[in-house]
Amino acid sequence: MKISAFFPAHNEEANIGDLVKKTSKVLSELCEEYEIIVVNDGSKDKTKEVVENLMKEDNHIRLINHEINKGYGAALKSGFYNAKYEWIFFTDGDGQFDVSEIKKLIDLSKDCDIATGYRIKRQDPIHRKINAFAWGTLVKLLFGFKVKDVDCAFKLVKKEIIDKVQLEADGAMISTELLAKANKLGYRIKEVGVNHYPRKAGKQTGAKLKVILRAFKELFKLYGKLK
């Protein structure tokens, strides 16, 4: 298997280095070929410099740099559309998942086109859990696909899907868009439980009001297109 792995990162200087190094070790044991892409989404800290230093040590690592913060969906699109291998894996740059559990997704991918994790025990504040439950319930009602954890940032996706679905969302709605469009085209989606860990450093931004409002705006735009 050949895998392009990427991570969106915004102000993750304390987390991104360990994540990249561990991912390179894991993929070197599992893949014929692989690459690791960090999408630096307008970080104000030293995320970019950390990745540039790692690139000097490991030629599997690439950097995509957004000079300004464009949003979670825009960062994911940069990763997806710059990936070169037949399977694309992504997780967030905050290190809340154990990248070695990609083995679970690889095993699952033998029988599907998108292998996605669901968080066995989500390690986030209660308001984020409530928001996620409400959002997940809404999108499943609107689009008809059955996924336990829509926004779980631990997915392995066939590149051909990304080439076909033409992702548009720049905000947090990106995972919903990917699953809804893939489902409509008849691609197979399967889930497996993965562990989720507390954030060790840095700050979450997904619960900001402007992020939520942007997601709803993009959600109803997508619903109008697909229905």
Give the integer Cα–Cα distance in Å for 190 and 202: 31
pTM (two decimals)? 0.89
Give the integer Cα–Cα distance in Å for 206 and 209: 9
Give the integer Cα–Cα distance in Å for 71 and 169: 9
Per-residue pLDDT for the chain (227 aa), expressed as one digit of tens each?
999 999 999 999 999 999 999 999 999 999 999 999 999 999 999 999 999 999 999 999 999 999 999 999 999 999 999 999 999 999 999 999 999 999 999 999 999 999 999 999 776 667 777 777 777 788 878 888 888 899 899 999 999 999 999 999 998 889 999 999 999 999 999 999 999 998 777 666 555 667 777 788 888 788 787 76
Give the integer Cα–Cα distance in Å for 14 and 50: 9
CATH number at residue 36: 3.90.550.10
Q: Are 102 and 19 in contact (CB under 8 A)?
A: no
Domain residues for 193? Answer: 2-226
Give the integer Cα–Cα distance in Å for 36 and 23: 8
User: How far is the CA of 96 from the CAs of 124, 146, 175, in angstroms?
Assistant: 10, 24, 17
Beta bridge partners of 66: 41
Report the candidate in 102, 15, 76 with the shortest Cα–Cα distance to residue 51.
15
Domain count, the chain: 1
